[in-house]
Structure 1
Amino acid sequence: MIGFDWLLALLLFELATGYTPGPNNLIAMAIGFSHGYRKALPHILGVTLGFPLMLLAIGFFLKPLMDRWPLLFDLLKYLSVAFVLWIAWKVAMAPVQDPESEAEEEPRPPMTFWKSVLLQWVNPKAWAGALSIVTIYTIPQHYTVSLFAAAFVTIFMVFAAVSLWAVAGKGIKALMRDPVKIRLFNYTMALLLLLSVGMMLF
Protein backbone atom coordinates (compact mmCIF):
# COMPACT_ATOMS: atom_id res chain seq x y z
CA MET A 1 0.00 0.00 0.00
CA ILE A 2 1.42 3.43 0.93
CA GLY A 3 4.93 3.07 2.28
CA PHE A 4 8.09 5.02 3.00
CA ASP A 5 9.34 4.73 -0.59
CA TRP A 6 6.15 6.32 -1.90
CA LEU A 7 6.34 9.13 0.67
CA LEU A 8 10.01 9.80 -0.06
CA ALA A 9 9.37 9.95 -3.81
CA LEU A 10 6.48 12.40 -3.31
CA LEU A 11 8.51 14.59 -0.94
CA LEU A 12 11.42 14.77 -3.37
CA PHE A 13 9.05 15.76 -6.18
CA GLU A 14 7.43 18.46 -4.08
CA LEU A 15 10.79 19.77 -2.91
CA ALA A 16 11.92 20.05 -6.52
CA THR A 17 8.74 21.76 -7.69
CA GLY A 18 7.32 23.55 -4.67
CA TYR A 19 10.40 25.55 -3.72
CA THR A 20 11.32 26.70 -7.23
CA PRO A 21 10.07 29.97 -8.80
CA GLY A 22 6.46 29.99 -9.93
CA PRO A 23 3.40 32.25 -9.67
CA ASN A 24 2.56 31.26 -6.08
CA ASN A 25 6.08 31.77 -4.77
CA LEU A 26 6.89 34.91 -6.72
CA ILE A 27 3.64 36.57 -5.62
CA ALA A 28 4.43 35.59 -2.02
CA MET A 29 7.88 37.15 -2.33
CA ALA A 30 6.43 40.34 -3.84
CA ILE A 31 3.83 40.66 -1.05
CA GLY A 32 6.40 39.86 1.62
CA PHE A 33 8.68 42.50 0.13
CA SER A 34 6.03 45.22 -0.07
CA HIS A 35 3.91 44.43 2.99
CA GLY A 36 5.68 41.90 5.25
CA TYR A 37 4.97 38.29 6.14
CA ARG A 38 1.76 38.92 8.08
CA LYS A 39 0.09 40.60 5.09
CA ALA A 40 1.26 37.69 2.91
CA LEU A 41 -0.54 35.14 5.11
CA PRO A 42 -3.89 35.34 3.23
CA HIS A 43 -2.05 34.46 0.02
CA ILE A 44 -0.04 31.72 1.75
CA LEU A 45 -3.14 30.14 3.30
CA GLY A 46 -5.07 30.50 0.05
CA VAL A 47 -2.40 28.53 -1.81
CA THR A 48 -2.15 26.01 1.05
CA LEU A 49 -5.87 25.26 0.78
CA GLY A 50 -6.32 25.87 -2.93
CA PHE A 51 -3.69 23.51 -4.32
CA PRO A 52 -4.75 20.36 -2.40
CA LEU A 53 -8.39 21.04 -3.32
CA MET A 54 -7.38 21.45 -6.95
CA LEU A 55 -5.36 18.23 -6.76
CA LEU A 56 -8.37 16.29 -5.46
CA ALA A 57 -10.72 17.82 -8.03
CA ILE A 58 -8.37 16.98 -10.89
CA GLY A 59 -7.82 13.47 -9.58
CA PHE A 60 -11.50 12.66 -9.16
CA PHE A 61 -13.28 14.75 -11.78
CA LEU A 62 -11.27 16.73 -14.32
CA LYS A 63 -8.67 14.27 -15.53
CA PRO A 64 -11.29 11.91 -17.06
CA LEU A 65 -12.94 14.91 -18.76
CA MET A 66 -9.65 16.23 -20.16
CA ASP A 67 -8.79 12.77 -21.45
CA ARG A 68 -12.10 12.77 -23.29
CA TRP A 69 -12.08 16.42 -24.43
CA PRO A 70 -8.50 17.72 -24.95
CA LEU A 71 -9.84 21.13 -26.01
CA LEU A 72 -10.91 21.71 -22.42
CA PHE A 73 -7.25 21.74 -21.39
CA ASP A 74 -6.41 24.26 -24.14
CA LEU A 75 -9.21 26.57 -23.00
CA LEU A 76 -8.01 26.44 -19.41
CA LYS A 77 -4.47 27.14 -20.59
CA TYR A 78 -5.45 30.36 -22.37
CA LEU A 79 -7.50 31.54 -19.39
CA SER A 80 -4.49 30.80 -17.19
CA VAL A 81 -2.17 32.95 -19.29
CA ALA A 82 -4.61 35.88 -19.25
CA PHE A 83 -5.02 35.77 -15.48
CA VAL A 84 -1.30 35.50 -14.75
CA LEU A 85 -0.64 38.44 -17.09
CA TRP A 86 -3.07 40.47 -14.98
CA ILE A 87 -1.34 39.43 -11.75
CA ALA A 88 2.06 40.32 -13.21
CA TRP A 89 0.73 43.77 -14.11
CA LYS A 90 -0.59 44.27 -10.56
CA VAL A 91 2.79 43.29 -9.10
CA ALA A 92 4.72 45.57 -11.46
CA MET A 93 2.43 48.54 -10.80
CA ALA A 94 2.22 48.08 -7.00
CA PRO A 95 2.47 51.49 -5.27
CA VAL A 96 5.95 52.28 -4.00
CA GLN A 97 6.44 54.25 -0.81
CA ASP A 98 9.60 55.87 0.46
CA PRO A 99 10.66 53.61 3.36
CA GLU A 100 11.66 56.74 5.30
CA SER A 101 8.24 58.35 5.00
CA GLU A 102 5.37 57.91 7.41
CA ALA A 103 2.50 56.71 5.24
CA GLU A 104 -0.98 57.20 6.62
CA GLU A 105 -2.45 54.30 4.70
CA GLU A 106 -0.56 51.29 3.40
CA PRO A 107 -1.71 50.00 -0.01
CA ARG A 108 -3.50 46.67 0.07
CA PRO A 109 -1.70 43.52 -1.10
CA PRO A 110 -2.69 42.42 -4.63
CA MET A 111 -3.92 38.99 -3.48
CA THR A 112 -6.62 37.98 -0.99
CA PHE A 113 -7.27 34.53 0.44
CA TRP A 114 -9.96 33.64 -2.11
CA LYS A 115 -8.04 35.11 -5.04
CA SER A 116 -5.13 32.85 -4.10
CA VAL A 117 -7.42 29.83 -3.84
CA LEU A 118 -8.75 30.55 -7.33
CA LEU A 119 -5.27 31.35 -8.65
CA GLN A 120 -4.43 27.64 -8.54
CA TRP A 121 -6.92 26.94 -11.33
CA VAL A 122 -5.16 29.37 -13.67
CA ASN A 123 -1.60 28.63 -12.55
CA PRO A 124 0.21 26.51 -15.19
CA LYS A 125 2.80 25.34 -12.67
CA ALA A 126 0.05 24.21 -10.28
CA TRP A 127 -1.65 22.34 -13.12
CA ALA A 128 1.59 20.64 -14.08
CA GLY A 129 2.30 19.67 -10.48
CA ALA A 130 -1.21 18.38 -9.80
CA LEU A 131 -1.36 16.37 -13.02
CA SER A 132 2.08 14.89 -12.28
CA ILE A 133 0.98 13.80 -8.81
CA VAL A 134 -2.25 12.31 -10.16
CA THR A 135 -0.59 10.41 -12.99
CA ILE A 136 2.75 9.46 -11.41
CA TYR A 137 2.50 9.51 -7.64
CA THR A 138 -0.82 7.79 -7.06
CA ILE A 139 -1.02 4.03 -6.61
CA PRO A 140 -3.52 2.44 -9.05
CA GLN A 141 -4.47 -0.36 -6.66
CA HIS A 142 -5.08 2.20 -3.87
CA TYR A 143 -5.91 5.24 -5.96
CA THR A 144 -8.32 7.03 -3.59
CA VAL A 145 -6.21 6.51 -0.48
CA SER A 146 -2.99 7.57 -2.19
CA LEU A 147 -4.64 10.65 -3.72
CA PHE A 148 -5.95 11.82 -0.34
CA ALA A 149 -2.57 11.05 1.26
CA ALA A 150 -0.78 13.10 -1.40
CA ALA A 151 -3.17 16.02 -0.82
CA PHE A 152 -2.54 15.83 2.93
CA VAL A 153 1.25 15.85 2.52
CA THR A 154 0.95 18.72 0.05
CA ILE A 155 -0.72 20.96 2.66
CA PHE A 156 2.43 21.07 4.78
CA MET A 157 4.84 21.26 1.85
CA VAL A 158 2.99 24.13 0.19
CA PHE A 159 2.69 26.15 3.41
CA ALA A 160 6.41 25.79 4.11
CA ALA A 161 7.48 26.64 0.56
CA VAL A 162 5.29 29.71 0.04
CA SER A 163 6.09 30.97 3.55
CA LEU A 164 9.81 30.73 2.80
CA TRP A 165 9.44 32.91 -0.29
CA ALA A 166 7.38 35.48 1.65
CA VAL A 167 10.01 35.62 4.39
CA ALA A 168 12.70 36.00 1.72
CA GLY A 169 10.82 38.97 0.29
CA LYS A 170 10.63 40.59 3.72
CA GLY A 171 14.36 40.01 4.21
CA ILE A 172 15.19 41.64 0.90
CA LYS A 173 13.07 44.67 1.83
CA ALA A 174 15.22 45.23 4.92
CA LEU A 175 18.26 45.64 2.67
CA MET A 176 16.64 48.08 0.24
CA ARG A 177 15.83 51.65 1.25
CA ASP A 178 15.67 53.31 -2.17
CA PRO A 179 12.19 53.62 -3.81
CA VAL A 180 13.82 53.25 -7.24
CA LYS A 181 15.29 49.89 -6.20
CA ILE A 182 11.92 48.85 -4.78
CA ARG A 183 10.25 49.64 -8.09
CA LEU A 184 12.96 47.70 -9.91
CA PHE A 185 12.33 44.74 -7.63
CA ASN A 186 8.60 44.84 -8.45
CA TYR A 187 9.39 44.92 -12.18
CA THR A 188 11.80 41.99 -11.75
CA MET A 189 9.19 39.91 -9.89
CA ALA A 190 6.62 40.61 -12.61
CA LEU A 191 9.11 39.61 -15.32
CA LEU A 192 10.06 36.40 -13.50
CA LEU A 193 6.36 35.62 -13.09
CA LEU A 194 5.90 35.88 -16.85
CA LEU A 195 9.01 33.81 -17.54
CA SER A 196 7.92 31.08 -15.13
CA VAL A 197 4.60 30.77 -16.94
CA GLY A 198 6.32 30.75 -20.34
CA MET A 199 8.64 27.96 -19.23
CA MET A 200 5.66 25.81 -18.25
CA LEU A 201 3.79 26.45 -21.50
CA PHE A 202 6.53 26.15 -24.15
Structure 2
Amino acid sequence: MNQALLISFLSYAIVTTITPGPNNITATSAGMKLNYKGSVPYLLGIALGFFIVMLIAGSFTSYFTSKNNQLFDIIKWFGAAYILYLALIPFLPVKKKSRSFNNNYSFVTGLGLQMINPKVILYGVTIYSSFNHLIGSSMISVVISSVFLSSLAFVCTSIWAILGTTLFNYFENKTFYYVFNSILALLLVYIAITILLL
Protein backbone atom coordinates (compact mmCIF):
# COMPACT_ATOMS: atom_id res chain seq x y z
CA MET A 1 0.00 0.00 0.00
CA ASN A 2 1.31 3.45 -0.94
CA GLN A 3 1.65 5.31 2.38
CA ALA A 4 1.78 8.77 0.77
CA LEU A 5 -1.42 8.03 -1.16
CA LEU A 6 -3.13 6.79 2.03
CA ILE A 7 -2.15 9.99 3.89
CA SER A 8 -3.48 12.09 0.99
CA PHE A 9 -6.73 10.12 0.95
CA LEU A 10 -7.27 10.49 4.72
CA SER A 11 -6.37 14.18 4.66
CA TYR A 12 -8.76 14.89 1.80
CA ALA A 13 -11.57 12.85 3.37
CA ILE A 14 -11.24 14.43 6.84
CA VAL A 15 -10.78 18.02 5.73
CA THR A 16 -13.59 17.87 3.18
CA THR A 17 -16.00 16.17 5.58
CA ILE A 18 -15.35 18.41 8.62
CA THR A 19 -15.53 21.76 6.80
CA PRO A 20 -18.84 23.68 6.62
CA GLY A 21 -21.35 22.34 4.14
CA PRO A 22 -25.08 21.60 4.09
CA ASN A 23 -24.66 18.54 6.33
CA ASN A 24 -22.56 20.22 9.00
CA ILE A 25 -24.49 23.49 9.05
CA THR A 26 -27.88 21.78 9.34
CA ALA A 27 -26.44 19.41 11.97
CA THR A 28 -25.46 22.46 14.02
CA SER A 29 -28.96 23.84 13.69
CA ALA A 30 -30.48 20.46 14.63
CA GLY A 31 -28.22 20.27 17.69
CA MET A 32 -29.31 23.75 18.75
CA LYS A 33 -32.99 22.97 18.46
CA LEU A 34 -33.17 19.32 19.50
CA ASN A 35 -29.93 18.82 21.53
CA TYR A 36 -27.51 16.09 20.45
CA LYS A 37 -29.69 13.13 21.43
CA GLY A 38 -32.68 14.55 19.56
CA SER A 39 -30.59 15.20 16.45
CA VAL A 40 -29.18 11.64 16.24
CA PRO A 41 -31.94 10.34 13.88
CA TYR A 42 -31.17 13.22 11.50
CA LEU A 43 -27.43 12.47 11.72
CA LEU A 44 -28.05 8.77 11.08
CA GLY A 45 -30.15 9.72 8.04
CA ILE A 46 -27.24 11.81 6.77
CA ALA A 47 -24.83 8.89 7.36
CA LEU A 48 -27.05 6.36 5.55
CA GLY A 49 -27.64 8.75 2.65
CA PHE A 50 -23.90 9.44 2.51
CA PHE A 51 -23.24 5.69 2.41
CA ILE A 52 -25.69 5.22 -0.47
CA VAL A 53 -24.18 8.08 -2.48
CA MET A 54 -20.63 6.79 -1.88
CA LEU A 55 -21.72 3.29 -2.94
CA ILE A 56 -23.22 4.65 -6.16
CA ALA A 57 -20.27 6.97 -6.81
CA GLY A 58 -17.78 4.17 -6.20
CA SER A 59 -19.67 1.79 -8.48
CA PHE A 60 -20.36 4.21 -11.32
CA THR A 61 -17.55 6.78 -11.20
CA SER A 62 -16.81 6.42 -14.88
CA TYR A 63 -20.43 7.25 -15.73
CA PHE A 64 -20.56 10.33 -13.47
CA THR A 65 -17.28 11.69 -14.80
CA SER A 66 -18.19 11.26 -18.46
CA LYS A 67 -18.77 14.27 -20.73
CA ASN A 68 -22.54 14.02 -20.35
CA ASN A 69 -23.18 16.27 -17.33
CA GLN A 70 -26.98 16.56 -17.71
CA LEU A 71 -27.72 14.40 -14.67
CA PHE A 72 -25.34 16.41 -12.49
CA ASP A 73 -26.82 19.69 -13.77
CA ILE A 74 -30.33 18.59 -12.77
CA ILE A 75 -29.16 17.40 -9.34
CA LYS A 76 -27.25 20.60 -8.63
CA TRP A 77 -30.28 22.83 -9.36
CA PHE A 78 -32.56 20.75 -7.13
CA GLY A 79 -29.83 20.61 -4.50
CA ALA A 80 -29.25 24.36 -4.54
CA ALA A 81 -33.01 25.02 -4.22
CA TYR A 82 -33.27 22.65 -1.26
CA ILE A 83 -30.23 24.19 0.44
CA LEU A 84 -31.82 27.65 0.07
CA TYR A 85 -34.97 26.24 1.70
CA LEU A 86 -32.84 24.95 4.60
CA ALA A 87 -31.46 28.48 4.99
CA LEU A 88 -35.02 29.75 5.53
CA ILE A 89 -36.11 27.13 8.11
CA PRO A 90 -34.93 29.05 11.22
CA PHE A 91 -36.92 32.12 10.13
CA LEU A 92 -40.19 30.42 9.22
CA PRO A 93 -43.07 30.86 11.69
CA VAL A 94 -43.73 27.69 13.67
CA LYS A 95 -46.98 26.98 15.52
CA LYS A 96 -46.01 23.66 17.10
CA LYS A 97 -42.33 24.09 17.74
CA SER A 98 -41.17 20.66 18.83
CA ARG A 99 -43.22 18.81 16.22
CA SER A 100 -42.01 21.04 13.38
CA PHE A 101 -38.40 20.76 14.44
CA ASN A 102 -38.65 16.98 14.54
CA ASN A 103 -40.13 16.99 11.02
CA ASN A 104 -37.43 19.31 9.69
CA TYR A 105 -34.60 17.31 11.26
CA SER A 106 -35.83 13.75 10.88
CA PHE A 107 -34.07 10.62 9.67
CA VAL A 108 -35.85 10.91 6.30
CA THR A 109 -34.84 14.58 5.90
CA GLY A 110 -31.19 13.74 6.58
CA LEU A 111 -31.34 10.84 4.12
CA GLY A 112 -33.10 12.96 1.49
CA LEU A 113 -30.58 15.77 1.74
CA GLN A 114 -27.81 13.42 0.57
CA MET A 115 -29.74 12.33 -2.51
CA ILE A 116 -29.77 15.92 -3.84
CA ASN A 117 -26.60 17.25 -2.22
CA PRO A 118 -24.22 18.02 -5.12
CA LYS A 119 -21.35 18.57 -2.70
CA VAL A 120 -21.59 14.96 -1.49
CA ILE A 121 -22.07 13.61 -5.03
CA LEU A 122 -19.07 15.57 -6.31
CA TYR A 123 -17.08 14.48 -3.23
CA GLY A 124 -17.87 10.83 -3.98
CA VAL A 125 -16.96 11.10 -7.65
CA THR A 126 -13.76 12.97 -6.79
CA ILE A 127 -12.60 10.60 -4.08
CA TYR A 128 -13.29 7.45 -6.10
CA SER A 129 -11.73 8.78 -9.28
CA SER A 130 -8.69 10.35 -7.56
CA PHE A 131 -7.92 7.47 -5.18
CA ASN A 132 -8.97 4.53 -7.34
CA HIS A 133 -5.49 2.97 -7.06
CA LEU A 134 -5.76 3.00 -3.26
CA ILE A 135 -9.43 2.06 -2.83
CA GLY A 136 -9.71 -0.36 -5.73
CA SER A 137 -12.70 -1.01 -7.94
CA SER A 138 -14.03 -4.30 -6.55
CA MET A 139 -17.46 -4.26 -4.95
CA ILE A 140 -16.00 -5.30 -1.57
CA SER A 141 -13.51 -2.41 -1.55
CA VAL A 142 -16.25 0.05 -2.57
CA VAL A 143 -18.52 -1.17 0.26
CA ILE A 144 -15.72 -1.02 2.85
CA SER A 145 -14.65 2.48 1.76
CA SER A 146 -18.31 3.63 1.72
CA VAL A 147 -18.76 2.40 5.31
CA PHE A 148 -15.59 4.23 6.35
CA LEU A 149 -16.57 7.49 4.62
CA SER A 150 -20.14 7.46 5.96
CA SER A 151 -18.84 6.73 9.48
CA LEU A 152 -16.49 9.70 9.11
CA ALA A 153 -19.48 11.80 7.99
CA PHE A 154 -21.42 10.74 11.11
CA VAL A 155 -18.50 11.71 13.37
CA CYS A 156 -18.11 15.11 11.69
CA THR A 157 -21.83 15.95 11.74
CA SER A 158 -21.92 14.84 15.39
CA ILE A 159 -19.15 17.32 16.21
CA TRP A 160 -21.17 20.10 14.58
CA ALA A 161 -24.40 18.99 16.32
CA ILE A 162 -22.62 19.01 19.69
CA LEU A 163 -21.40 22.52 18.88
CA GLY A 164 -25.02 23.50 18.28
CA THR A 165 -26.11 21.82 21.52
CA THR A 166 -23.53 23.72 23.57
CA LEU A 167 -24.84 27.00 22.17
CA PHE A 168 -28.47 26.12 23.00
CA ASN A 169 -28.74 28.27 26.15
CA TYR A 170 -27.65 31.35 24.26
CA PHE A 171 -30.63 31.05 21.94
CA GLU A 172 -33.07 32.35 24.52
CA ASN A 173 -31.51 35.70 23.65
CA LYS A 174 -33.39 36.68 20.46
CA THR A 175 -30.51 38.82 19.16
CA PHE A 176 -28.05 35.94 19.44
CA TYR A 177 -30.62 33.57 17.88
CA TYR A 178 -31.15 35.74 14.79
CA VAL A 179 -27.50 36.70 14.37
CA PHE A 180 -26.31 33.09 14.61
CA ASN A 181 -29.04 31.76 12.32
CA SER A 182 -28.37 34.58 9.87
CA ILE A 183 -24.71 33.51 9.71
CA LEU A 184 -25.74 29.88 9.11
CA ALA A 185 -28.29 30.99 6.49
CA LEU A 186 -25.66 33.08 4.68
CA LEU A 187 -23.28 30.11 4.66
CA LEU A 188 -26.02 27.95 3.14
CA VAL A 189 -26.76 30.62 0.52
CA TYR A 190 -23.04 30.79 -0.28
CA ILE A 191 -22.92 26.98 -0.63
CA ALA A 192 -25.97 27.02 -2.93
CA ILE A 193 -24.39 29.71 -5.14
CA THR A 194 -21.06 27.82 -5.19
CA ILE A 195 -22.87 24.64 -6.26
CA LEU A 196 -24.60 26.45 -9.12
CA LEU A 197 -21.27 27.79 -10.33
CA LEU A 198 -19.70 24.30 -10.49
Whether TM exceeds 0.5 here: the answer is yes
- Aligned partner of 1:106 in structure 2 is 98
Provide, for residues 27-82 of structure 1, a one-character-per-residue CA deviation record: whole Å limited to 9, x for no partner: 00011112211121111111111112101112324751662632222111111111
Mapping for residues 129-148 of structure 1, pairs under 5 Å? 129-139=123-133, 142-144=136-138, 145-148=140-143
Higher helix share: 2
* Contact map agreement 1:43 1:112 (CA 8 A) in 2: yes
Q: Deviation per CA, 1:178-197: give whole Å up to 9, x if none.
A: 12321332222111111123
- Residue number in structure 1 paired with 2:154: 159
Task: Confirm or deny that 1:90 pairs with 2:50.
Answer: no
CA contact (8 A) 1:22 1:197 kept: no
Q: Which residue of 1 aligns with 2:114?
A: 120
Gaps of 5+ in 1: 97-103
Unaligned 5+ residue runs, structure 2?
none
Aligned to 2:132, what secondary structure does the other structure show?
Answer: coil
Question: Between Structure 1 and Structure 2, how many residues are aligned?
Answer: 194
**What TM-score do you get using the length of structure 2 for normalisation?**
0.85
TM-score of the superposed pair, with normalisation by structure 1: 0.83
Q: How does 1:50-65 map to 2 (within 5 A)?
A: 50-61=49-60, 63-64=62-63
The 1:201/1:150 distance shift into structure 2, 3 A limit, reads farther
Residues 182 and 136 (structure 1), Cα distance of their counterparts in 2 relative to 1, 3 Å cut: same
**SS of aligned partner of 2:172:** coil
Preserved CA contact (<8 Å) 1:66 1:72 = no
- Cα offsets for 1:145-185 (capped at 9, x unmatched): 44233212112211110000000011122344312321332
Give the Cα separation in 2 of the matches to 1:47 and 1:127: 13
CA pair 60-159 structure 1, distance change in 2 beyond 3 A: same
In 1: Cα distance, 2:97 partner to 2:171 partner: 21
Q: Is the Cα contact below 8 Å between 1:88 and 1:193 reproduced in 2?
A: yes
Which residue identity lines up with residue 124 of structure 2 in the other structure? Answer: A
Q: CA–CA distance in 1 between the matches of 2:175 and 2:113? A: 29
Distance 1:46 1:31 in 2: 13
**Which residue identity lines up with residue 126 of structure 1 in the other structure?**
V
Among all aligned residue pairs of Structure 1 and Structure 2, give the percentage whose two residues are the same amino acid. 25
- Tell me the equivalent position of 2:18: 19
